[in-house]
Amino acid sequence: MIRPKTLLSLPTLDLESYEIERIEQVLTPALAIYEDIVDSNIDFTLKLLGGDPARWRPHVKTAKLEYVLRKYLDRGLTKFKCSTSLELATLCRIGAPDVLIAYPLVGANARRVRDLANQFTGTRVSALVETPAQVEAWAASPVSLFVDINPGMDRTGIRQDYPAEVVSVARRILDVGCEFRGLHYYDGQLGNLDLEERELVAHRGYDSLMHIVETLERERITVAEVITAGTPAFPCTLTYSRFAEMSSAHTASPGTVVYGDCTSIAQLPADWGYRPAAVVVSTVVSHPAPGRITCDAGHKTVSADAGSPTCAVLGRPDLVPAKPSEEHLPIDVKDDPRPDIGEMLFLIPRHVCPTVNNFDQALLIRDGRIIAVEAVTARGREAPLLD
């Protein structure tokens, strides 16, 4: 069963646990990150992975903050994924041992990644390829390569029912003297399926993936690592027994779990207990009509890429966000009393990753107190011209 694309319901959350001392000093809209919840979300993910940090290759497009990325390192994680050269540079600067830039790179973008790999020799940098021609950009470089597999998302990669093409690309990687690391398989298209059906579809895909691994091994091509599963398919990858039986290392790459959002918390089993760790603090600025308020959290604040409603109001299920404009978020009020002008609301994004990317800085909250203002280090892009 496919869920309709409406706002996914949140579990009951204790508003008091999100309250912030001296909130009257906060310029809104503001991004608040709750350190104790971040720690809990990271620790629980590791618990699901048997306490083995080598099994987790988180995508850092969610975390973004160097402060949070260091928490991964402190817990023994060594492998990461990213999508931009700025994210890669951030990870390299903090000493991440192994980083895959999981995005198709050509032209100047590929040259920039080569430059970073040459500059930060302590980081093992990898990239994705899907054609023999793409391999040429990485010849005579320290960048190792994964072959990108298309699991049916039809976004990037070689179709999973074309194992001969995968073999061809892997052979070309070896022919040009690069290191072939393994296979990358992101099945993010499964998020709208109920969990039971999601698992069935995901496991069928993993069967095809295992066939590719076996095909490569018959051709005497070693597959060192197989990467699967962002957040939507994370439960499915944990229950696929054949990953534990293969000779290749298997890693999962959920990233959204570090902060959580309306979508990811609804996609994951309710008893796992993930909680939102990133909240947008906003202020009611208008009562434009009966039954409606407006706050200062338009789509330049809370991303609208996942549709409308863009968020949920913490502790107020009777407040239903309407379609935002750039700086305004109208909210329909189902029950009285409606919030006063000047009252602050705590918003849980529908999609937290691009929401975090909207902010230059974040409030770091511990035990209800603001303990620091941290830069959202890896937001945005690098300067657009190579030296």
> What pLDDT score does 336 carry?
82
Residue 11: band (very low, low, confident or very high) from pLDDT cuts 50, 70, 90: low
Expressed as residue numbers, the domain containing 273 is 1-35+260-379
Q: Report, as an integer, the average pLDDT of 86-115.
A: 97
Tell me phi and psi for residue 84, to 5 degrees.
-125, 160
Kindly state whether residues 170 and 248 are assigned to the same domain. yes
353-386 pLDDT, tens digit each: 999 999 999 999 999 999 999 999 999 999 999 9
Kindly state whether residues 79 and 154 are assigned to the same domain. yes
| DSSP 8-state symbol, 101 | E
First-residue to last-residue Cα distance in the chain:
51
User: Whole-angstrom Cα distance, residue 36 to residue 49?
Assistant: 20
Cβ atoms of 385 and 318 within 8 Å: the answer is: no
Q: Report, as an integer, the average pLDDT of 223-232.
A: 97
> What pLDDT score does 15 carry?
82
123-169 pLDDT, tens digit each: 999 999 999 999 999 999 999 999 999 999 999 999 999 999 999 99
Residue type, 86: L
> What pLDDT score does 90 carry?
98
Domain harbouring 98, CATH code: 3.20.20.10
Kindly state whether residues 238 and 339 are assigned to the same domain. no
Instruction: Show which of 253, 269, 304 is a domain's final residue.
Output: 253
> What pLDDT score does 143 carry?
98
Percent of residues, the chain, with pLDDT higher than 90 = 94
Contacts of 363 (CB under 8 A, 6+ apart): 20, 26, 30, 31, 32, 33, 281, 370, 372, 373
> What pLDDT score does 4 carry?
35
Residue 52 lies in a domain: no
> What pLDDT score does 7 carry?
43
Average pLDDT, the chain: 95
Residue type, 91: L
Tell me phi and psi for residue 263, to 5 degrees.
-70, -50
> What pLDDT score does 6 carry?
39
Kindly state whether residues 287 and 353 are assigned to the same domain. yes
Percent of residues, the chain, with pLDDT higher than 70 = 97
240-271 pLDDT, tens digit each: 999 999 999 999 999 999 999 999 999 999 89
Q: Report, as an integer, the average pLDDT of 60-71.
A: 98
40-63 pLDDT, tens digit each: 999 999 999 999 999 999 999 999
Cα separation values, 201 from 92, 115, 264, Å:
36, 40, 18
Kindly state whether residues 83 and 8 are assigned to the same domain. no
Is pLDDT at 2 greater than 70 in this prediction? Answer: no
Is pLDDT at 9 greater than 60 in this prediction? Answer: no
Q: Report, as an integer, the average pLDDT of 98-112.
A: 97
Task: Find the helix or strand (DSSP H, E) in which 41 lies.
Answer: helix 35-48
Residue 40 lies in a domain: no
Residue 14: band (very low, low, confident or very high) from pLDDT cuts 50, 70, 90: confident
Kindly state whether residues 124 and 239 are assigned to the same domain. yes
Kindly state whether residues 278 and 245 are assigned to the same domain. no
Residue 168 lies in a domain: yes
Is pLDDT at 3 greater than 50 in this prediction? Answer: no
> What pLDDT score does 47 carry?
98
> What pLDDT score does 320 carry?
95
